[in-house]
Structure 1
Amino acid sequence: MTTLYPGRSLNLSNIEEGDDVYFECAIKANPWVYKIVWLHEGDTFSLQGHELCHNVSAGIIISNQSLVLQKIARMASGNYYCVASNIEGDDTPVCRPGQMMYHGAARFEQVNIPCHLDAHPKPLAFTWTFNNSGESVEIPKSHIRVLGTYSPVSYTPNTELDYGTLLCWGTNAVGKQKQPCIFHVFPAGIPDPVHNCSVYNLSVDIVHVRCSAGFDGGLTQTFILELYESHTNKLLANTTNIIPKFSVPGLPPGMSFTGVIYSTNAKGKGEQISLPVYTIKDMAERRTGKKLITLNLSRKE
């Protein structure tokens, strides 16, 4: 902990140009500090302000925990801070755990990838590079923002060669980050349609449907069945599952329906498939030979 005190004989309310000013930095630390930084008009935590260096000819004298400003001019007005560092409090930045490391993007789609660091002192700068097939390219500064310990970068893959790995480093007053944060950018799009859909376990009041999943577009997909009454096109049910298998209970017996099946992921909704389904009138109808059926499907525009 540091506390800044003016010199004992100094009256802060009555300082004029040409005066000498003296400050003392009181420090409580264990282990003891190895560095003291003096700042004018800022602090190391917001990374604003100008660090003062010992320069006798300029009238700046730094000795241990004291700062002397000789024959001050108007430009010396403002706030002053002392910042002390010990071996336990300071280090180069490290990646914050729990970040999203994989980002799917279609070609020509801009993705914003955040890099969060744990660092004290806070980072002075961030560096981003892109790696693919052994080639490393630095991301232009115009695509990078620095918001304290957080830096989001805007990245747009335009060709297949633009998919690969983004690396993020932070640099603070102690030095450059030893190990970069790694983010993977991979091709992603809407999922392909389901296929090989079937109705099974015919019942008087339940519809059972199962399908084979299409390509997920490179992202986790969710499957949806919308069930419509065939004659009125009234929506009767909307059910979701993590696999393409559905059961819709509570339906009237001996009725025909249209099932609309599709999948979605973070990029959007895949193509819909239309499937005719029905309930039987009674269990005797099931025993007469109506079994598992696989139907030719039409794609609903």
Structure 2
Amino acid sequence: MVSNHLLLVMNMLLIAMVSVNSIDEEVWEVIGVAGRTSDLPCYLNPRTSGDRPKLILWYKGDIKTPIISSYDGRMPEVHPSTVHREEYILTVGRTAATLTINTVGTESAGMYECRVEFFKSPTHTNLVNLTVIVPPRSVEILDSQTGPAKNGIIGQYYEGDKVTITCIARNGSPLPNVTWWRNERIVDGLWEVTGPGVVKNNLVIDKLTRSWHNQTLTCSASNTHRTNPVSTSVVIKMYLLPTSVIITNPGDVQEGDLIKLICESEGSRPPAVLHWKVKGIKNPSAKEENYGGMTRSTLLINVSREDDKSTVICQAHNPTRPKIILTNTTILNVQYKPSVRAEMGKSLRAESLKEGDDVYFDCTVDANPNATKITWYHEDKVQVQSIAHGIITTGNSLVLQKVNRRQAGFYRCAATNKLATVTSPPVRLKIRYKPECYTFPTTYFIYDKPINVTCTVSSYPAVHSIYWQWNNSNDVITTKPETAELEKSQAQLTVTPIENREDRVLSCWAVNEMGEQTKPCGFTFKVAQMPLPLSSCRLANITASSLSLTCQRPHVPTAGTTLYRAEVYFQNDTLFANVTSDRPNFNVSRLDAGMRYQIKVYVTHGPVTSQPVVVSAYTSRTSRTTPTDTISKDTGTSIGWCSGPFGVVWFLVLL
């Protein structure tokens, strides 16, 4: 038996340098691999600084004729150069002259001599000893029972079998290490030499387990790490028994449902055979499927109350060993979902509840299994117990202490069991309260036309009257309300302009059975002033298809939003464009060349619009733009201006 560790240490040797007694000769040890390239070094070490080689000669063994040489050193400057001599390549650099053997063979082994002559320094000699390693030729795997592997597979085996697998490596110098590997880990590193150039490793598995199925075993033969090992692999195949049988139970099912039970068995090879039994009677499966090592069978049952607590059995076995059976069972549960009803406490008078009263609800549930959770909702919002807010949940009841109007609305309870969550129909809680404003404070601008104002309030019960009053009057106006929607009422009042044209405030409030509204709703009316028309309107940037119009806004302070509108008309008074801006500056494009247009400019403040300023212009017949307030020699533009209502500015293009 050859020591494994000794051979591994020998293969890790790369290059060893040995000094000899000669002052200028050094022996370098180089290891090469047959069939590959190998580099032999020759270092240029002139004794005179700045010196360079004039002649480089390489010899092999005792042959007196050089195998390759280089005269590049006689050139004015030393540059790297390559000299080819059949299978050799000589590469000369500034510090070394390397001999490369293209294809190393066993005949390449031996001592090489490199002789370097310099222009000034003495001749320098390097000795290199080349050792050639020959990799193994082939690797073969044999099964002790069935012989050589077939298509990379050995087996079929059963669990518990004892298996011996042999790996044989042939040739190689030195003889290779033969090892077994599994999942990139060595499992057997003992080998023996059984004949000339033959190394063998026997892998013995005393008791085969299912973990070996589909495992890849690799036999590797190597005598150097400078090249990849010679290797071959096989896959182990086994017959496997089922490892599990799992029945998927649909859980709690409803009476009358067509339920589906699924039985899955894993681990069997070939796939397992499955059988069903219900109450001890065999039932045929509705569907069978195989997914590699898993077998699935589906059973359909139209359940009734009599099937509750029935036992369902699924059996699995490997078809090569039908007497070894794996079994699993499950119990059916036939149940029904909750029936839920929410109701207000029987001692309460629902129509008489007002703010400050205590209210409670009961949730009646019928369920199998019993409900595990009761949840209360107010307008779809979950009610969470908060003693500080007067919300208490206890058992199946909900208690509301000192209720207010915001707690009015629809209440529901939801019951949950394993089958479903069911929500009850709603129960409405009505809380009696005084009217409150539903309309936000609003500001209106009024000029010369009436405005309709709507007052909307919320209350329960509904209001019977809505009252109006101006801030500068003691008169109260009564209107009949209309019901807009649930707990909302509204009335409308028409407000007309008054002669003194002053700002006013209008209030409205309502009354129901609970009393008069505490805080009235307010509306502010501001008198809209007739805006002054624009002045000093100027045309500019006239082209064949566009123009710009800029006007001076009047220096009159106004409240609210002011908008400026320009209407562009064709010569036949047909409207071409309507442009609105928050500034009195307008740009109009897509005009026709050489056409006359009329532009009317308005100022709008709230509901009131000023008299227009009218501007007329011609577009140019060419596409060039003439600068503002200038007249060119070929074409000119005259810019005018206007002020006051119906003022006119004429723009003329001279050709």
Q: Would the TM-score normalized by the shorter structure come out above 0.5?
A: yes
The 5-angstrom pairing of residues 194-205 of structure 1 reads: 194-205=534-545
Q: Specify every segment of 5 or more residues in structure 2 that has no aligned partner in the other structure, as ranges.
A: 1-342, 354-401, 406-430, 484-488, 632-636, 648-655
Amino acid at match of 1:147: E
Which structure has the larger Rg?
2
* Counterpart selection for 1:119 from 459, 474, 480: 459
Per-residue deviation, 1:266: 5.9
Residue 276 of structure 1: aligned partner: 616
Q: Does 1:28 align with 2:358?
A: no
Instruction: Describe the superposition over 1:217-265 as per-residue Cα deviations: whole angstroms up to 9, x where unpaired.
Output: 86645432222345x5554333333433221111234544321112446
Instruction: Describe the superposition over 1:17-53 as per-residue Cα deviations: whole angstroms up to 9, x where unpaired.
Output: xxxxxxxxxx82699669739xxxxxxxxxxxxxxxx
* Counterpart selection for 2:566 from 218, 221, 225: 225
Residue 9 of structure 1: aligned partner: none
Question: Contact between 2:596 and 2:617, CA under 8 Å: does it hold in 1?
Answer: yes
Q: Does 1:174 align with 2:514?
A: yes
The 5-angstrom pairing of residues 44-59 of structure 1 reads: none
Distance 1:161-1:213 versus aligned 2 partners, 3 A rule: closer
Give me the whole-angstrom Cα distance separating, in 2, the residues matched to 1:246 and 1:30: 73
SS at match of 1:168: strand
The 5-angstrom pairing of residues 146-225 of structure 1 reads: 146-148=481-483, 149-160=489-500, 163-188=503-528, 190-214=530-554, 220-225=561-566
Which structure carries more relative contact order (alpha carbon 8 Å, separation 6+)?
1
Question: Contact between 1:34 and 1:86, CA under 8 Å: does it hold in 2?
Answer: no
SS at match of 2:627: helix
Amino acid at match of 1:295: W
Give me the whole-angstrom Cα distance separating, in 2, the residues matched to 1:175 and 1:213: 54
Distance 1:155-1:258 versus aligned 2 partners, 3 A rule: closer
Q: Specify every segment of 5 or more residues in structure 1 that has no aligned partner in the other structure, as ranges.
A: 1-26, 38-84
Give me the whole-angstrom Cα distance separating, in 2, the residues matched to 1:30 and 1:210: 78
Per-residue deviation, 1:114: 1.0
Per-residue deviation, 1:91: 2.1
Per-residue deviation, 1:179: 1.4
Give me the whole-angstrom Cα distance separating, in 1, the residues matched to 2:626 and 2:552: 28
Q: Does 1:103 align with 2:419?
A: no
Give me the whole-angstrom Cα distance separating, in 2, the residues matched to 1:153 and 1:288: 56
The 5-angstrom pairing of residues 80-95 of structure 1 reads: 87-88=404-405, 89-95=431-437
Amino acid at match of 1:225: A
SS at match of 2:352: strand
Q: Does 1:289 align with 2:630?
A: yes
Distance 1:130-1:223 versus aligned 2 partners, 3 A rule: same
Q: Does 1:145 align with 2:480?
A: yes
Q: What is the aligned-residue identity percentage?
A: 20
Q: Does 1:299 align with 2:645?
A: yes
Give me the whole-angstrom Cα distance separating, in 1, the residues matched to 2:582 and 2:454: 28
Q: TM-score, normalised by structure 1?
A: 0.59
Give me the whole-angstrom Cα distance separating, in 2, the residues matched to 1:29 and 1:162: 58
Q: Tell me the number of residue pairs that the alignment of Structure 1 and Structure 2 aligns.
A: 220
Question: Contact between 1:191 and 1:216, CA under 8 Å: does it hold in 2?
Answer: no
Q: TM-score, normalised by structure 2?
A: 0.29
Give me the whole-angstrom Cα distance separating, in 2, the residues matched to 1:298 and 1:205: 28
